[in-house]
A and B are shown apart, each in its own frame.
Chain A
């Protein structure tokens, strides 16, 4: 029986890249950090706050997200939105994810058990 620790590491590795994909998809509709965190976890992408917040800033610096301050509500919030560049990168990522899924399915079906 494999230990929980090993299992957790593998799951973490598997999930790591998908946070970026999920964020780029979710931010087609502009949102701020905490709301995005909620939205992602509601859709089965539990992310740690201390991972997501710095990640959003990094994606913004890379030009994949744009941001805008909203000062109308009780506290100033920074709303992120997937940029055009982000959209094209997302396209590539989704294609690749689909390829991985297809390849895996082929492998599973083709493998003798």
Chain B
């Protein structure tokens, strides 16, 4: 019959280096017996005293870690910042990038938009989990082996510029650039895969293919310039009046052609309109045009207003 002390010793010694196990066992057993004896001498019941002593010594794994001078943390302060910075850097763009690429490829290879989006989201999630897991495993191993990282010492030169003035975060810029990128991708993609087909099963572009002569390349150029504006904004760290002016010009350069093309019925593919009877009826096409124009005006107006408010608020 094994006593509680035997079980406690076995549990502790399990994770103590083998070379020192026997010695620690003898010493710890004697110490426990001394402690129990100290209590029973005061008139306490032996079994209760044993329980109390072992409770006082606490979790055997914790005690063993103290004997072995082992760290009870996955990633300690020496490695934590390096781990956290690397995680943020990798997770900030790799999962989204891979997800969008896989989503586009899935869609382009003949899947539906829904399947493309679904596959993209799942892949992005899997990539994020894989990155988190492997980075953490590597750092946990470094922690255990106490490998020096030899990272450059921090110095004042590493201080980010404009810190007190920065009003625009990288996340905002990344979101805007991603949105603009997707919009450009859509303008191109709708020509090849709109998910509307003719009676013959051929692809039917949403926008009038004749626009490729000038207006679609022009709109795409405006969007590319808008991406440039996002980067300029990030470099400056905040909205300034020159940036607002550029924003107004770019918004007008996008909205005015879209509104004009819509109001003259030149935006949508005539074959597409012919394909949907509903659009041909009564004034439905005018309603759709009005909605597109209203939406375009609203988005452009809101974007400009937002930049003006932010510049006003952050001035000086």
Q: How far is the CA of A53 from the CA of B8 in the complex (A)?
A: 15
Q: Which of B26, B35, B63 contacts A34 (CB 8 A)?
A: B35
Other A-B contacts than A32-B30, A76-B26, 15 sampled, CB-CB below 8 A, are A32-B34, A33-B34, A34-B31, A34-B34, A34-B35, A48-B56, A49-B56, A53-B63, A53-B67, A54-B66, A57-B24, A57-B67, A75-B30, A77-B30, A78-B26
- Among residues 33 to 81 in chain A, which have CB atoms less than 8 Å away from a CB atom of chain B? 33-35, 38, 48-51, 53-54, 57-58, 75-78
Q: Which of B27, B62, B66, B67 contacts A33 (CB 8 A)?
A: B27
Is residue B58 within 8 Å, beta carbon to beta carbon, of the partner chain? Answer: yes
Docked-complex contact A50 and B62, CB < 8 angstroms: yes
Q: How far is the CA of A49 from the CA of B57 in the complex (A)?
A: 6
Residues in A whose Cβ lies below 8 Å from that of B67:
53-54, 57
- Among residues 5 to 34 in chain B, which have CB atoms less than 8 Å away from a CB atom of chain A? 24, 26-31, 33-34
Docked-complex contact A50 and B30, CB < 8 angstroms: no
Is residue B109 within 8 Å, beta carbon to beta carbon, of the partner chain? Answer: no
Residues in B whose Cβ lies below 8 Å from that of A33:
27, 30-31, 34
Residues in B whose Cβ lies below 8 Å from that of A53:
27-28, 31, 63, 67
Residues in B whose Cβ lies below 8 Å from that of A49:
31, 35, 56-57
Size of B's binding interface in residues, CB under 8 A: 19
Q: Which residue of A lies closest to B60 (CB)?
A: A50
Q: How far is the CA of A54 from the CA of B24 in the complex (A)?
A: 9
- Chain A contact residues: over half helix, strand or loop, or mixed? helix
B53 to chain A, nearest CB (A): 8
Chain A interface: which size bin?
A: 10 to 19
Residues in B whose Cβ lies below 8 Å from that of A78:
26-27, 30
A68 to chain B, nearest CB (A): 12
Docked-complex contact B63 and A76, CB < 8 angstroms: no
Q: How far is the CA of A72 from the CA of B66 in the complex (A)?
A: 29
Per-position 1/0 for A8-41, Cβ under 8 A of B: 0000000000000000000000001111001000
Q: How far is the CA of A53 from the CA of B25 in the complex (A)?
A: 12
B187 to chain A, nearest CB (A): 60
- Chain B contact residues: over half helix, strand or loop, or mixed? helix
Is residue B280 within 8 Å, beta carbon to beta carbon, of the partner chain? Answer: no
Q: Which residue of A lies closest to B28 (CB)?
A: A53
In this complex, which of A38, A48, A51, A78 has the most chain B Cβ atoms within 10 angstroms of its Cβ?
A78
Q: How far is the CA of A78 from the CA of B56 in the complex (A)?
A: 21
Residues in A whose Cβ lies below 8 Å from that of B57:
49-50
Is residue B38 within 8 Å, beta carbon to beta carbon, of the partner chain? Answer: yes
Is residue B199 within 8 Å, beta carbon to beta carbon, of the partner chain? Answer: no
Q: How far is the CA of A58 from the CA of B27 in the complex (A)?
A: 14
Docked-complex contact B38 and A38, CB < 8 angstroms: yes
Q: Say whether, besides A33-B34, A38-B38, A49-B56, A58 and B69 are in contact (CB < 8 Å).
A: yes
Q: How far is the CA of A51 from the CA of B26 in the complex (A)?
A: 18
Docked-complex contact A50 and B31, CB < 8 angstroms: no
Q: Which residue of A lies closest to B68 (CB)?
A: A54
A109 to chain B, nearest CB (A): 37
Per-position 1/0 for B55-94, Cβ under 8 A of A: 0111000110011010000000000000000000000000
Q: Which residue of B lies closest to A48 (CB)?
A: B56
> What are 19 residue pairs bridging A and B, where the CB atoms are less than 8 Å apart in the complex?
A32-B31, A32-B34, A33-B31, A34-B35, A34-B38, A38-B38, A48-B56, A49-B31, A49-B35, A49-B56, A50-B63, A53-B67, A54-B66, A75-B29, A75-B34, A76-B30, A77-B27, A78-B26, A78-B30
A47 to chain B, nearest CB (A): 12
Ranked 10 nearest A-B pairs via Cβ: A34-B34, A54-B66, A33-B31, A54-B67, A78-B27, A75-B30, A50-B57, A50-B63, A50-B58, A34-B31
In this complex, which of A33, A35, A58 has the most chain B Cβ atoms within 10 angstroms of its Cβ?
A33
Docked-complex contact A75 and B33, CB < 8 angstroms: yes
Q: How far is the CA of A77 from the CA of B24 in the complex (A)?
A: 11
Q: How far is the CA of A78 from the CA of B27 in the complex (A)?
A: 6
B20 to chain A, nearest CB (A): 8
